[in-house]
Amino acid sequence: MMEAAHIARAVTDVFLERRCPVCGRALRSREERLCLFCAGDLPLTYYWTQSRNAMADRFNARFTGDDISYYIYAAALFFYRSEAGYAEIPKALKYHADYRLGRHYARMLGRRLAESEAFRDVDLVVPVPLHPLRRWRRGYNQAEVLAREVAAALGARLGKGLLRRRRYTRTQTRLHGEAKARNVDAAFVLTRRARRKGLAAHHVLLLDDVFTTGATLGACFRALLPLCPSARLSVATLAVVKE
């Protein structure tokens, strides 16, 4: 007997041709998310196997001169290559409410992190918050959708409601360089609840969908620091834009 999900997919295939979000090829019913070629070619970073890597170096460079006593770990699952179409994975989640694809790759990221020397002791995963108005308009926070899966794979708690985005920033994709830096600078603050209750964790992972310049994650990182003076803070994303 065919499994219900499989029947549903076969029916969907007939009425609504499913396409590989990366290359646009029509998917066969056995291909769940990406076509076999694109799934096999996913440009993995392997950053979770290298505690020092290009992404972490870029992030640490934002904090030179700051009083942080450790090298900040950073990892992404794959390279965001818009020309190769893999950018469609985070885009599907961010703009089209396609949770399935994002969750699948978030679980994959979580499993890699759980096997990683640098990340396996993470006990709290904090998603980068959206401004409440944007969250309300979109109906969800894509970073939180991802963080929930990553936390589950790591056996960590999900840290919601610790940070608040206080300005309704313009969509980041339309801004570049300096404007973008100014836009996110000091955009995050600790919530009253976080300040009152503090943070019981020894390794906190900040999570976002895409790492471009690291400005957004950097601003979140700075906001969280006073809450965890004795904890380690790391960052992870689904995708990273190659410099």
Q: Which stretch binds Zn ion (CB under 5 A): 37-45, 92-100, 123-131, 132-140?
A: 37-45
∠73-87-97 over CA atoms, to 5°? 100
Residue 22, interface with Zn ion (CB under 5 A)?
Answer: yes
Q: 179 with 170: CB under 8 angstroms?
A: no
Q: Considering beta carbons, is residue 37 or 136 the nearer one to Zn ion?
A: 37
How near is the Cβ of 21 to Zn ion at its closest, in Å?
8
Residue 20, interface with Zn ion (CB under 5 A)?
Answer: yes
SS3 string of 183-205?
HHCCCEEECHHHHHHCCCCCEEE
Q: Considering beta carbons, is residue 25 or 135 the nearer one to Zn ion?
A: 25
One-letter amino acid of 180: K
Give the length of the chain.
243
Q: Which stretch binds Zn ion (CB under 5 A): 16-24, 135-143, 150-158, 185-193?
A: 16-24
> Nearest-CA neighbor of 20 among 41, 40, 5, 38?
38
Q: Considering beta carbons, is residue 37 or 168 the nearer one to Zn ion?
A: 37
Please name every residue paired with 163 in a beta bridge, in sequence order, or none if there are none. 190
How near is the Cβ of 29 to Zn ion at its closest, in Å?
15
Residue 233, interface with Zn ion (CB under 5 A)?
Answer: no
d(CA 34, CA 169): 32
Q: Considering beta carbons, is residue 98 or 123 the nearer one to Zn ion?
A: 98
Residue 23, interface with Zn ion (CB under 5 A)?
Answer: yes
Q: How many residues bind Zn ion (CB under 5 A)?
A: 6
- The pair of structure tokens assigned to 80 is 């965001």
Residue 35, interface with Zn ion (CB under 5 A)?
Answer: yes
Q: Which stretch binds Zn ion (CB under 5 A): 29-37, 66-74, 128-136, 198-206?
A: 29-37
Q: Cα–chain-centroid distance for residue 131?
A: 16
d(CA 243, CA 211): 11
∠3-7-12 over CA atoms, to 5°? 145
Q: Considering beta carbons, is residue 88 or 144 the nearer one to Zn ion?
A: 88
d(CA 19, CA 41): 17
Q: Considering beta carbons, is residue 54 or 84 the nearer one to Zn ion?
A: 84
Q: Which stretch binds Zn ion (CB under 5 A): 12-20, 92-100, 127-135, 141-149?
A: 12-20
Binding site for Zn ion (CB under 5 A): 20, 22-23, 25, 35, 38
